[in-house]
Amino acid sequence: MASITKLFCILLIVGLCIPVVVLIWIAFAPNTDFSALYGLSFYSSAGQLLNSTGELIAEMLTIFVSGVLLLCILFLTHRMFKSISQYIDPFSPENAKRLREIAFIIFIYSIAQPFLKTSFYDYFAPKITMQSSFNVAFIILALMFYFFSMVFDYGAELQRLSDETL
């Protein structure tokens, strides 16, 4: 399982190179008409065609920030699976802490993503009115990870008590 998360991390890092390359390209050639260039079309995360360079910059920055947070989650997941594969007991305080950290990152993402996307669009494409809302599914997912961390804490405590009795 640890090798799968490592593979996902590598793929995500490669995927994060795309918005970075586009942002660097825009920085060095700000007047590039992307629609005339090799017939390239860029779409927003909502599936709408991006018509201006400002929209493209805002969308690429949003994708980059989201990707970095996802990379942090995958890194923590990799460390958790690695520790589970090395030790017999998955219920450890370290794994519970990692689950809490994952829950915190997901919660921060669910709160910050709409604000960041709106801020990026306000700054780089002021003519576009962007409305974002909180994604309740991510908040619920963060709560679920937090509750799982509590289960792992309880399992670690039960394991410790069981080891002390023997």
Supply the pLDDT for residue 124: 82
Q: Per-residue pLDDT averaged across 139-165, rounded?
A: 90
| Bigger pLDDT: 71 vs 131 | 71
| Bigger pLDDT: 20 vs 140 | 140
| pLDDT band, very low/low/confident/very high, at 141 (cuts 50, 70, 90) | very high
Q: Write out the two tokens for 128.
A: 């576009």
pLDDT in tens, 78-124: 888 888 888 777 888 898 999 999 999 999 999 988 888 888 888 88
Supply the pLDDT for residue 45: 66
Q: What own/partner pairs with CB < 8 Å and gap ≥ 24 does 47-50 have?
A: none
**3-state helix/strand/coil string of the chain:** CHHHHHHHHHHHHHHHHHHHHHHHHHHHCCCCCCCCCCCCCCECCCCCECCCHHHHHHHHHHHHHHHHHHHHHHHHHHHHHHHHHHCCCCCCHHHHHHHHHHHHHHHHHHHHHHHHHHHHHHHHCCCCCCCCCCCHHHHHHHHHHHHHHHHHHHHHHHHHHHHHHC
Q: How far apart are the first and last CA of the chain?
A: 31
| Bigger pLDDT: 82 vs 27 | 82
Domain boundary assignment for the chain? 2-165
Q: Per-residue pLDDT averaged across 1-6, rounded?
A: 68
pLDDT of residue 131 exceeding 90:
no
Report percent pLDDT > 90 for the chain: 19
Per this entry, what is the length of the chain?
166
Q: Per-residue pLDDT averaged across 46-72, rounded?
A: 80
Q: Per-residue pLDDT averaged across 16-38, rounded?
A: 68
Q: Which of 44-58, 68-82, 89-103 has the lowest mean pLDDT?
A: 44-58
